[in-house]
Structure 1
Amino acid sequence: MRPLLHGDVSNAARALLASAPGRRQALCQQMVREAELADRHVQRTGRLHPEWGNGSLMMAARKYRLASEPGFDNVEFIECFQTVLEQLKLALLKDQRSNP
């Protein structure tokens, strides 16, 4: 996956916010996986992935419906943001273990 920026996390959280609460964890895992696969595709072919774009989490998230971005006074958005950060943490830890 391409380097992560605030916009990546924000867009992914907006996609989660627009989805059903019971689906959010699985959707987050799916978006991270799609960004990783797209990044590998770009590195291998030099071309954007036809569905998931350039390998950024933002591009993977933007293929889903996005809620308008609320502020951090919205508890549900905070929870979605935390879900994204936790999933990214798990993915980074997994990557570190597989590439010591």
Structure 2
Amino acid sequence: MLPVLHGDVSAAARALLRAPVDGRGRLCRRMIGEAAQACAHVRKTGSLHPLYGNGSLMSAARKRELADEPSFDDPEYCQCFEMVLREITLFRISPKRS
């Protein structure tokens, strides 16, 4: 996966806002996995992944319908944003990636 910037986290959180609450964790991990898969594809072929884009989390998230971006006054958005950060951290430290 490409380096994660604020816009990546925001796009992923906005995708999560559109998803059912009980499926958000699974969707978050899926988007991160898609970004990683796309990044590997780009490195190997020099071409965008046909489904997941350029390897950024934003590209993977934008394959879904995104909610309008709320402010951090919205507790549900904050929970989604936090989930994305947590799952990125877990992905980065996963022994499977070593």
Indicate the residue corresponding to 2:57 in structure 1. Answer: 57
Indicate the residue corresponding to 1:73 in structure 2. Answer: 73
Supply the AA of the counterpart residue of 2:21. Answer: P
Structure 1 residues 35-73: Cα deviation after superposition (integer angstroms, max 9, x where no partner): 000000000000000010000000000001100000000
Structure 1 residues 14-40: Cα deviation after superposition (integer angstroms, max 9, x where no partner): 000011101100000000000000000
Deviation at 1:96, TM superposition (A): 9.1
Q: Cα RMSD (Å) of the superposition? A: 1.3
Identity of aligned residues (%): 53
Distance 2:81 2:39 in 1: 22
Length-normalised TM-score, structure 1: 0.94
Indicate the residue corresponding to 2:27 in structure 1. Answer: 27
Length-normalised TM-score, structure 2: 0.96
Q: Number of residue pairs matched?
A: 98
Indicate the residue corresponding to 2:15 in structure 1. Answer: 15
Distance 2:26 2:35 in 1: 14
Provide structure 1 residue ranges, at least 5 long, that are not aligned to the other structure. Answer: none
Deviation at 1:94, TM superposition (A): 1.3
Runs of 4+ in 1 over 3 A off after TM superposition: none
Distance 2:57 2:31 in 1: 7
Indicate the residue corresponding to 1:36 in structure 2. Answer: 36
